[in-house]
Each structure stands twice: as C-alpha cells, then as structure tokens.
C-alpha cells in the first residue's frame, strides 16, 4: 500500500506541476481522437456491414488492428496543439481561446470524413480516399444516387455531430481545468521543453508507424481474408490523406499517341487464348508452391548464360524440370514484381500499383483463380509484410493466411536487415507444406537474403558479397527441394521458381541499355511436371498467370495483360519493361530503350524496326496506365 500511495503522490505532484499540466493536456487530446476513431469503427461495422456476420472478436480485432491509422490521425491533429503548448512555456497566453477555431475545424473534419465514409461505402465498397476529389467539379453527379431527404439528414447530422465532437474534444482537453488564462507559469523551461519534445517524438512515431523499415500505409491494418473487416479497420481520415499525398495522374504525361494510333498499335499484343500447344503437367490439380527469388537475375545462372558456380543448385534442378530460357522482368522492385508475377499486371515507371490499396484490390490474381477452384492460399515472407501495402494486396487478392516477420522469434527476425533469413524461412516453408491437411493448396514464398546489405551466414564465394548472398539462397533452395523429394507431397506438387526482378547494377557494368539487364529465370519443378525440357519462347513474368492457369485448365479472362505463351495464338513474342525513368521493349526485330525524362531513344539495336518497337512500347504504357487510373 505504501508503494501505491507513493506512486499516487508522485502522479498528483506531476499532474499539478506546470509541465505535467501540459503533458496531460496533450495526452487527453491525443487519446480522445483515438477513442473517437475506435467508436467509429464499431458504428461502421453496424451500419455499413449489411449482411456481414461479425463476432465480438471481429470487433476487437478491427479496433486493435486499426490502431496504427488512429495513432497517425491523432498525431496529425495533435501537432498544432503540441507546438502551441511548447510556445506557452516561454510566453504564456490563453491557449483555449486560440484553439476554439482549430478544434471546430478538427470536429468538422472528423464528422465530414466519418459521415462521408459510412454513407459512400455501400455504393463504392471501398474506403474514403482521394478519388472523391474527382467529383468536386460535379457534385450533382456525386450525389445522384442519394435522395433529397438523405442529403437533408446528412446536413443535420453534420452540424449536430460537429458540435458534439467539438464538445467532447474540449472536455477531454481541459477536463475540470478552465485554462482561461493559460497554463501555470513554468520556472523550469528547459525541462518542460525536453519533456514535450520527447512526447512529440512518440507522436511522430505514431504517424510514421513505428521504427521499422516500412511506414504506415493503408494495408498496415489489413488482418484477415474478409475485405469488409479489413476496410472497417481503415481510418477514413488516414485513407484520404494518404491517397491525396500519394496519388499522381500520369495519363497526360504518358499520352504519347492519338487514340486511333494507340488502339491500332496495341490491338493484338495481348491475345486471350486458353488453347495448349504443349502440356507440361501430369494432372490439372497439383498442389502448388510458388517460390519468388529476390533479385535473381539470369546473369547469376550459368544455365541461362550467366556467371559460373554462383547458383549450382538452380542449374542442377533446371535439368530436372521445365526451364524457360527467355523470361524477362516487367519491373525493377519487389512490390512491382509481385504484382506482375501474381496478378499478371504490368508495372509503371513511377507508380507502385501495390501501394494503391483501392486499385490493387481490383486486380485478378493467381491466388483468386485458384481459390475459386478450391485451393487454399498462404503467403510466406520473412520480412515486414506491411511494407508497400503488401499485406493489404495479398488479402485483397485471395490469400487466406500470411506468415511474416512477426511470426518468427526476435533472434530469427534479426538474422538479416530485412527480417528472417532464407535458411530460417525455407524451413518454415517446409514445415508449412508438410502441415497442409486438405488439398489442393497453394503456397507463395518470397525470399529475402539475396537483398542488400548482402549479409548471410555463408561464405562460399569470398570477396564477392553479392554473389555470395545469391549463392546462399541457391543453397537453401537446393536443400529444400532435395528434402521435399523424399516426402509423399512431392509426387503431386508443382513448384514454380521465378524472380521478382533482376539485381540492380550486378554484374558490374550491366545497365538498362543491356538487353540482358532484365533477364530472369522461370523453372517448373516437382512430381507434377511431366518431363524435363527447355522452352525458348520470349515473354514477360506477367505472362505467368495466363500460362499457368491454361495448364490447369482454368479460365484467365480477367488477366487482360497476361498471355498464355504456350497457346496457339501466341504468335508475337515480346518482353516489356519499366524502370523509374524509362521503358524498354524486346521482340524478334531487336531491342529498344526510351528515356521518359528526355523523351529520347537511348537504345535502338538494330535501328531497323526501331520505330515500330517504339510505337508499341508507348502504346503499352499508355494503355496500361489508363486502365490502372480508371480502376
């Protein structure tokens, strides 16, 4: 009891001090915003849920997983009171009077966002975001689906709730203290400044989303395979501000060709064809493991004309499966490469499709197609799955469960800068495979050890840290395959090994103007593969979905930019690539690279056919970006 009394006495002393008065003032404001956000989530589920059946646990999970957004919003709104409070340390003034206008604006913004979100969600089926700005020049069309009485009620609710939230914020901030003449005089200005600066640091961490590599994004709060519950966890204020800050319209910038010319050049490039000229599998419902190899360039694989002795296991295994020798990456980063590989959707120079939660959720995916065919889908990655909205994209496109850094021990997560290393995660992949109870199932696994800073517990190639990192992943791949061969799972399993993109700047001297810069491997392994062979047709990694689904006898009509490269109609092979400042194109006539900043061709090899290649690559970028922007 004495200890509790002492703690209580300390608290009362701190509370009554001028510094404590300021800290509690800001804390009450901050947690008031968080509480309002949590209450809104409950109301959202009740009102917008429709026929959704939600348990008490669902409510708790939505509130808990939604906290990162709520922390960020509370941080944004607390920034002004924090700065004013610090200013009062040096010159006391009636802060309450100054904040009347600010708190009125905050109450109005909260009310407007919450009412807009809960009213529009049944029509849009996505959270409030920057797309509402499109309709500001035509409010009549925006409100066309809402009755007059609905609008009247919304206006009344807007006024009433703005007043109510204003009063709640005021009560939370001031409590029983009137603060008519400002805070108590502070004689320890340095201490108070340091304390409030530290408090501001914690508020900033809430805005950022912690101290990990990833920052707060919309998908941070996604937590299950029910999109409504994921949406319920999203704070609409955060969603709006995030999409405003991250939305860019490149439609005009990429409008290279007149519409008639664009259509003429684009028509016939992406043929939808489910016929087969070659059957690669023993059956159409194997279990599937998709292994996405971080940064694996063909330049590292001797079997594909690359460096010797870096990836001996891949080269050994390539003789046991179906090796595609002319596969090219669509993009240069993992978030882009995953979209290309799993959704068959081309990448863009300066836009990450995955980061756009609303649009990426509309994409088809291998997982969704397999789910409709009775498969369960699991994604395994040793790093932070919140990075670039990865988790949000995965749950939106058919994955039932994910395994990421938080599912490993602290020591395991620290084995690599990006998370659990490939030796650890390949073991988790094997355990997950062996633990599958129903069939068929599909597991996607993304490696990470072959990523800078290239630190691996392995040194087979001393003096070359990059080659050694890739050799380490190759070693783990070989061990995993060899172990799986000894299990009963092997005979009915298809293993798809493909890279997300090629490694940047390695081997030394390879640049975007090098034809092999984006050359990557694709290898099919497993007991479900009918026989070993090599296939030399030219294509993109984005053609994997249509090609794979055709082998499984499943439709791929939704994959409008993915081609079945073993179809009878695949008569114009080409590979298309985007990087930050440019685009490139390869076909049987040659190789073209176009710089988007200077609007100049920087490579035409050979010059013959270059004009045709350039028109086609421009038509692809123009068409695909317009499709993306209109989603």
CB neighbour class for 84 (10 Å; exposed up to 12, middle 13-18, buried from 19): middle
Residue 216 contacts residue 60 (beta carbons within 8 Å) = no
Reduced to 3 states, what is the DSSP secondary structure of residue 593? strand
End-to-end Cα spacing for the chain: 63
Q: How far is CA 153 from the centre of its chain?
A: 37
Residue 113 within any structural domain of the chain: yes
pLDDT by residue (tens digit) across 366-400?
A: 999 999 999 999 999 999 998 889 999 999 999 99
Phi, psi of 396 (to 5 degrees): -75, -20
For tokens 């997950």, name the residue: 432
Give one DSSP letter per residue of 522-544, joined into a string: EEEESTTB-S-EEE---EEGGGH
Cα dist. 168→24, 67, 161, 601 in Å?
Answer: 16, 20, 10, 61
Residues 189 and 328 in one domain: no
| Token digits of residue 168 | 């709640």
Q: Give Dmax (Cα) for the chain.
A: 90
Residues 390 and 455 in one domain: yes
Last residue of a domain, one of 527, 546, 573: 573
Q: How many distinct structural domains can be found in the chain?
A: 2
Bridge partners of 377?
442
Q: Provide the domain limits for residue 233.
A: 24-242
At 9 the pLDDT is 66
Residues 33 and 108 in one domain: yes
Residues 52 and 110 in one domain: yes
Last residue of a domain, one of 543, 573, 603: 573
| Token digits of residue 629 | 């922007």
| Token digits of residue 346 | 């081309």
Cα dist. 27→176, 211, 238, 378, 523 in Å?
Answer: 15, 21, 20, 40, 56
Q: How many CB atoms lie within 10 A of CB 189?
A: 12
Give one DSSP letter per residue of 210-235, joined into a string: SSSSS---GGGG--SS-HHHHHHHS-
Reduced to 3 states, what is the DSSP secondary structure of residue 496? strand
Instruction: Name the nearest CA neighbour of 237 among 387, 109, 336.
Output: 109
At 366 the pLDDT is 98
| Token digits of residue 347 | 């990448």
Bridge partners of 522?
324, 498
Asked if the bond preceding 606 is cis, omega within 30° of 0, the reply is yes
Residue 380 contacts residue 425 (beta carbons within 8 Å) = yes
Residue 462 within any structural domain of the chain: yes
pLDDT by residue (tens digit) across 326-342?
A: 999 999 999 999 999 99
Cα separation, 487 vs 549, in Å, equals 26
At 5 the pLDDT is 61
Residues 232 and 286 in one domain: no
Residue 287 contacts residue 444 (beta carbons within 8 Å) = no
Residues 228 and 364 in one domain: no
Cα separation, 314 vs 473, in Å, equals 10
Give one DSSP letter per residue of 126-180, joined into a string: S---GGGGGGTT-HHHHTTTS-HHHHHHHHHHHHHHHHHHHHHHHHHHHTT---T
Residue 360 within any structural domain of the chain: yes
Residues 232 and 376 in one domain: no
Cα separation, 195 vs 190, in Å, equals 9
Q: How many CB atoms lie within 10 A of CB 235?
A: 31
For tokens 């009213």, name the residue: 119
Residue 600 within any structural domain of the chain: no
Parallel, antiparallel, or unpaired for β 600-605 and 590-595?
antiparallel
H runs (alpha helix) in 290-354: 312-318, 334-343
Q: How far is CA 304 from the centre of its chain?
A: 31
Residues 77 and 154 in one domain: yes
Instruction: Name the nearest CA neighbour of 66 among 243, 242, 238, 212.
Output: 238
| Token digits of residue 83 | 């700065």
Phi, psi of 567 (to 5 degrees): -90, 160
Q: How many CB atoms lie within 10 A of CB 513?
A: 14
Asked if the bond preceding 440 is cis, omega within 30° of 0, the reply is yes
Residue 606 within any structural domain of the chain: no
Residues 207 and 276 in one domain: no
Which residues does the chain have with pLDDT short of 50? none
Residue 128 contacts residue 113 (beta carbons within 8 Å) = yes
Residue 257 within any structural domain of the chain: no
Residues 419 and 303 in one domain: yes
H runs (alpha helix) in 209-311: 227-233, 236-246, 259-266
Residue 262 within any structural domain of the chain: no
Q: How far is CA 535 from the centre of its chain?
A: 32
Residue 15 within any structural domain of the chain: no
CB neighbour class for 81 (10 Å; exposed up to 12, middle 13-18, buried from 19): buried
Residues 519 and 561 in one domain: yes
Residues 553 and 406 in one domain: yes
Looking up residue 326, the CATH number of its domain turns out to be 3.40.720.10
Asked if the bond preceding 151 is cis, omega within 30° of 0, the reply is no
Last residue of a domain, one of 573, 590, 612: 573
At 298 the pLDDT is 97
CB neighbour class for 431 (10 Å; exposed up to 12, middle 13-18, buried from 19): exposed
| Token digits of residue 239 | 């969603």
């Amino acid at each position: 009891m004495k200890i509790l009394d002492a703690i209580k006495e300390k608290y009362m002393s701190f509370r009554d001090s001028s510094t404590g008065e300021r800290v509690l003032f800001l804390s009450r404001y901050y947690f008031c915003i968080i509480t309002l956000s949590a209450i809104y989530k409950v109301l959202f589920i009740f009102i917008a849920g429709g026929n959704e059946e939600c348990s008490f646990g669902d409510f708790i999970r939505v509130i808990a997983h939604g906290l990162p957004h709520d922390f960020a919003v509370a941080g944004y709104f607390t920034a002004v009171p924090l700065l004013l409070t610090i200013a009062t340390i040096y010159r006391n003034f009636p802060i309450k009077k100054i904040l009347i206008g600010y708190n009125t604006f905050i109450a109005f913004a909260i009310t407007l966002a919450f009412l807009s979100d809960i009213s529009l969600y049944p029509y849009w089926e996505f959270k409030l975001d920057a797309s509402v700005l499109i309709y500001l020049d035509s409010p009549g069309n925006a409100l066309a689906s809402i009755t007059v009485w609905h609008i009247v009620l919304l206006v009344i609710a807007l006024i009433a709730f703005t007043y109510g939230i204003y009063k709640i914020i005021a009560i939370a901030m001031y409590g029983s203290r009137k603060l008519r003449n400002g805070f108590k005089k502070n004689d320890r200005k340095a201490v108070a400044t340091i304390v409030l600066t530290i408090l501001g640091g914690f508020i900033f961490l809430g805005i950022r989303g912690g101290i990990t590599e990833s920052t707060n994004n919309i998908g941070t709060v996604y937590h299950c395979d029910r999109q409504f519950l994921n949406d319920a966890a999203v704070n609409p204020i955060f969603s709006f501000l995030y999409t405003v800050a991250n939305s860019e319209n490149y439609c005009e910038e990429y409008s290279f060709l007149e519409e008639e010319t664009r259509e003429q050049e684009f028509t016939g490039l992406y043929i939808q064809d489910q016929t087969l000229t070659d059957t690669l599998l023993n059956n159409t419902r194997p279990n599937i493991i998709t292994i996405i190899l971080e940064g694996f360039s063909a330049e590292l694989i001797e079997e594909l004309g690359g460096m010797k002795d870096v990836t001996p296991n891949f080269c050994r295994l390539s003789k046991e499966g179906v090796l595609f020798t002319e596969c090219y990456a669509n993009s240069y980063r993992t978030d882009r490469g995953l979209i290309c590989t799993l959704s068959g959707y081309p990448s863009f120079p300066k836009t990450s499709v995955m980061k756009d939660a609303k649009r990426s959720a509309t994409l088809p995916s291998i997982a969704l197609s397999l789910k409709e065919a009775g498969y369960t889908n699991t994604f395994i990655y040793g790093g932070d799955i919140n990075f670039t909205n990865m988790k949000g994209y995965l749950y939106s496109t058919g994955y039932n469960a994910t395994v990421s850094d938080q599912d490993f021990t602290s020591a395991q997560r620290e084995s690599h800068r990006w998370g659990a290393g490939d030796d650890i995660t390949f073991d988790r992949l094997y355990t997950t495979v062996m633990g599958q109870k129903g069939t068929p199932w599909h597991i996607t696994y993304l490696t990470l050890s072959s990523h800078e800073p290239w630190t691996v517990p392995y040194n087979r190639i001393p003096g070359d840290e990059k080659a050694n990192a890739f050799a380490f992943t190759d070693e783990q791949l070989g061990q995993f395959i060899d172990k799986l061969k000894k299990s009963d799972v092997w005979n009915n399993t298809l293993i798809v090994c493909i890279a997300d993109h090629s490694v940047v700047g390695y081997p030394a001297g390879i640049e975007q103007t090098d034809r092999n810069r984006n050359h990557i491997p694709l290898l099919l392994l497993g007991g479900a593969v009918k026989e070993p062979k090599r296939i030399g047709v030219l294509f993109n990694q984005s053609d994997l979905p249509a090609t794979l689904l055709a082998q499984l006898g499943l439709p791929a009509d939704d994959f409008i930019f993915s081609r079945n490269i073993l179809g009878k109609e695949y008569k114009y092979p080409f590979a298309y690539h985007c990087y930050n400042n440019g685009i490139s194109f390869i076909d049987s006539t040659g190789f073209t690279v176009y710089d988007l900043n200077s609007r100049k061709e920087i490579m035409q090899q050979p010059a013959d056919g270059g004009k045709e290649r350039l028109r086609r690559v421009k038509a692809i970028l123009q068409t695909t970006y317009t499709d993306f922007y209109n989603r």
